[in-house]
Amino acid sequence: MGPSLWYVAPRIAVLIAGLLTYRVLRGVGAERSAAVPAIALCFLLFRDLLSLFIPYQALLVLSDIFVLLLYLYWLEKVLERREAGRVFLALVVVLSVGAAILDVRFGVPFPRLSYAVAFAAAFVLAGTTFFDATTDDVELSRTITDTRDVVLLGTLYTQVLIFIFGHASQLTHAILYPASYVVHVAVLLLYFRRSYVAGFEAAKRAEEEKERLYGFMRRVESAISTQIDLDRILKYIVEDAVGETGANGGAVFLVSDDNSELQLRALHGTFPPPYPVSPVVKERASRLENYVRSTPIRMGATVIGMTAYSALPTFIPDADQDPRLHANHDPEDSCYISSLIAVPLTISGKVLGVVAIVRTRRLRRFTERDFRHLQTFADYAALTIDMTLAYLELLEKKEIESELNIAAGIQRKLLPDSPTAITGLVCAAFSNPVREVGGDYYEYSQIDKQTARLMICDVAGKGIPAALVMVMINTLMDSQPGSQPGSQPGSQPDPALTLRAVNIGITRRTAAEHYATAALCHINLVSGGLTYANAAHHPLMVYRKPGEGNSAPGRVEYLDTEGLPVGVNADVEYESITTRLTPGDMVLLYTDGITEALNPAGEQFGAERLVATVLESAHQGAEAVRQAVCRELERFVASRKQHDDQTLLVLEFVPKSDDT
């Protein structure tokens, strides 16, 4: 049988369609299970092309069984049931080699009845494994169901027809073999449909998670406004941590005063101790819980102690394979753990405790999304605990007059305590509060390998209420999808959408007098692309460096959009504006305490004087601009007492390479 267009064209067309679908699936982050049908398509085409030159029936017959076993091997791998599949696969390999030798060397064709028996055995094994597959992982269960229905029925129909008409018939080569390709393309299309639907489900889950976070904020605010109750707040923390991740149980441990051990302070659901315990303790659930509550954990001991000691989060997706949880490997044991996440509660480098969640059902495991979400949640929880502990400590010492110190401490922990290194930007900043607690807040951070986020805001009011608004703004910013450090490039929301989400959260959950002006921008550290949104703050100042050989001092331009302060009206829409930075360009964010600074004669510092200072010093870099503005402000105001906080953020664009 020689090569011909009717033989090759249908196969190439179906293969291209399948591989394009697979490429789209990988592009949108679909599960790696999509590789199985893609490999099957490539294998079938290779087999059919090879059969044009080596026309042995054994090659065609046994390859069909191999494709079926490819799905079987994938299924047994994800379900951790490997033994039977590997034995049968070994038998088929032996059968393949033997049949090929008989066919090629001795001219003995592979009997149709033998093929039917071999295929039936593989089909029964695959079908039994598919239908016996059970897992608590919803996504994996859907994948198995989609694959099972299409592969088993499609393969059965095509193989029965091939058996009836024979492998050597022209009908089989022209229609039935290309039709067998369609089975695997259909699997890819099912994955594509589910991946498309999953995008909408993920957006819905993100909205639900934000609402749960808002609910937690409301409950904490209620607990603080009525009576400072640490145990009640810790109860809220562990309940929300368990509820937001679908965990079976969770616990909050706090570090002792001497930093030598951790004590359980809040427990929710079923939380087996992630360390060995006596069989007598495990006999009763109440006895086990009492043991966990009453037994402190030494710093550095067990998974919980190591998390606190290292100040690093611990993610164990598959506890069955992790030696750190060797005492929790038996599914029949009351202390069985299938997956664990433990995140340190840290503030300014100090570890306050650990929040931990577990899953206790076999094959039900936490995902990377659960891990990232708990990390974000733990940041807000740590701020809340730290504020509460500080307040309780002051109550014990009867130093209620130090309320401003508490708020100032919160503010200091939110503001960068040292310059943050961002490859692609040279950063310089200063913030001078006129009172012990200021209303200015700024932040600059790298949220993925190509994107930096800059934000500045001026919060109305003073004291703990204003500090709490800062905490809420910080938390709401980080709760947006794609806003956490380590996010995938391109997943960041538009700054205008982020401001809208922050505005809704602040407006619906604070009093009318709690609002803030804010400005937010994202900078692409490779291309220099900048996107900016404004909520009634000062416009973004952009310094444009002159070209090479140009002796001009450069120029300053402004970017601005309309919008009310966050916290005023939940229905406000914000807009974004874009520009592009070139090497040496700078962006400046500042509060009105700088431009409205007064000298002894009652004159304002003004925007023109700020621009002049920037132009005179910009050729020396961002730090030089910061120092120049500080000197000029100090000279201008002299001994005049100021009425507002002064904050300046200067960032110079020094593009990084793609692979940095």
Condensed to tens digits (0 to 9), the pLDDT of residues 552-568 reads 778 999 999 998 999 88
Q: Which of 119-128, 330-339, 454-463, 586-595 holds the top average pLDDT?
A: 586-595
Interval 602-611 mean pLDDT: 93
**Contacting residues for 372 by C-beta, under 8 A, at least 6 apart:** 484, 486
Q: Which of 12-16, 46-50, 280-284, 514-518 has the lowest mean pLDDT?
A: 12-16
Cβ–Cβ < 8 Å for 636, 605 = yes
Q: Which of 355-359, 477-481, 513-517 has the lowest mean pLDDT?
A: 477-481
Q: Determine the pLDDT at residue 92.
A: 57
Q: Encoding tokens for residue 429? A: 């900043």
**Among 118, 133, 120, which Cα is nearest to 77's?**
133
Q: In this structure, how many other beta carbons lie within 10 angstroms of the beta carbon of residue 24?
A: 16
| Confidence at 187, pLDDT banded by 50, 70, 90 | confident
Cβ–Cβ < 8 Å for 647, 630 = no
Interval 445-467 mean pLDDT: 80
Q: Determine the pLDDT at residue 660.
A: 53
Cβ–Cβ < 8 Å for 246, 136 = no
Interval 487-515 mean pLDDT: 76
Q: Which of 111-120, 225-234, 302-311, 618-627 has the lowest mean pLDDT?
A: 111-120
Interval 29-34 mean pLDDT: 54
Q: Encoding tokens for residue 14? A: 């179906």
List, for residues 608-620, the tens digit of each pLDDT value.
999 999 999 999 9
- Looking at the domain 410-653, which fold is it? Phosphatase 2c; domain 1 (3.60.40)
Residue 17 burial by Cβ neighbours in a 10 Å radius (0-12, 13-18, 19+): middle
Q: Determine the pLDDT at residue 616.
A: 92
**HEC sequence for 41-87:** HHHHHHHHHHHHHCCCHHHHHHHHHHHHHHHHHHHHHHCCCCHHHHH
Q: What Cα–Cα distance (Å) separates residue 254 from each residue in 263, 272, 346?
A: 6, 18, 11
The contacts found for 624-629 with CB under 8 angstroms, 24 or more apart, are 625/428, 625/586, 625/588, 625/650, 626/428, 626/429, 626/430, 626/650, 629/594
Cβ–Cβ < 8 Å for 645, 448 = no
Interval 585-598 mean pLDDT: 93
Q: How far is CA 353 from the centre of its chain?
A: 23
Q: Determine the pLDDT at residue 449.
A: 81
Q: Determine the pLDDT at residue 435.
A: 62
Q: Determine the pLDDT at residue 1.
A: 42
Residue 420 burial by Cβ neighbours in a 10 Å radius (0-12, 13-18, 19+): middle
| Confidence at 312, pLDDT banded by 50, 70, 90 | very high
Q: Which of 3-7, 122-126, 272-276, 538-542 has the lowest mean pLDDT?
A: 3-7
User: What does the angle CA 474 – CA 480 – CA 481 come to, to the nearest 5 degrees?
Assistant: 145
| Confidence at 179, pLDDT banded by 50, 70, 90 | confident
| Tally of CA atoms within 13 A in the half-sphere of 574 that contains its CB | 33
Q: Encoding tokens for residue 117? A: 């028996």
Cβ–Cβ < 8 Å for 150, 190 = yes
The neighbouring-strand residues paired with 261 are 298
Q: Determine the pLDDT at residue 386.
A: 85
Helix (H) or strand (E) holding 154: helix 138-165
List, for residues 352-403, the tens digit of each pLDDT value.
999 999 998 887 888 888 898 888 888 888 888 888 887 777 666 555 455 5
Q: Determine the pLDDT at residue 576.
A: 93
What phi-psi label fits residue 92: left (phi over 0), alpha (psi between -120 and 50 degrees) or beta? alpha
Interval 579-593 mean pLDDT: 93
Dist CA 529 CA 525 (whole Å): 8
Q: Determine the pLDDT at residue 83.
A: 46
Buried b / exposed e across 568-585, counting CB within 10 Å, b at 16+?
beeebebebbebebeebb
List, for residues 92-118, the tens digit of each pLDDT value.
556 655 665 655 555 555 555 666 666
Q: Determine the pLDDT at residue 355.
A: 94
| Confidence at 28, pLDDT banded by 50, 70, 90 | very low
| Confidence at 341, pLDDT banded by 50, 70, 90 | very high
Average pLDDT, the chain: 78
- Residue scoring higher pLDDT (419 or 275): 275
Q: Determine the pLDDT at residue 584.
A: 92
**What is the Cα Rg of the chain in Å?**
32
Q: Determine the pLDDT at residue 69.
A: 75
Q: Where are the domains of the chain?
A: 5-200, 227-396, 410-653
- DSSP class of residue 321 equals G
Q: Determine the pLDDT at residue 2.
A: 44
What are the backbone angles phi and psi of residue 444, rounded to the nearest 5°?
Answer: -140, 135
CATH of domain 227-396: 3.30.450.40
Residue 606 burial by Cβ neighbours in a 10 Å radius (0-12, 13-18, 19+): middle
- DSSP class of residue 415 equals S
What are the backbone angles phi and psi of residue 161, rounded to the nearest 5°?
Answer: -65, -40
Map tokens 């042995």 to a residue. Answer: 56
Interval 40-67 mean pLDDT: 70
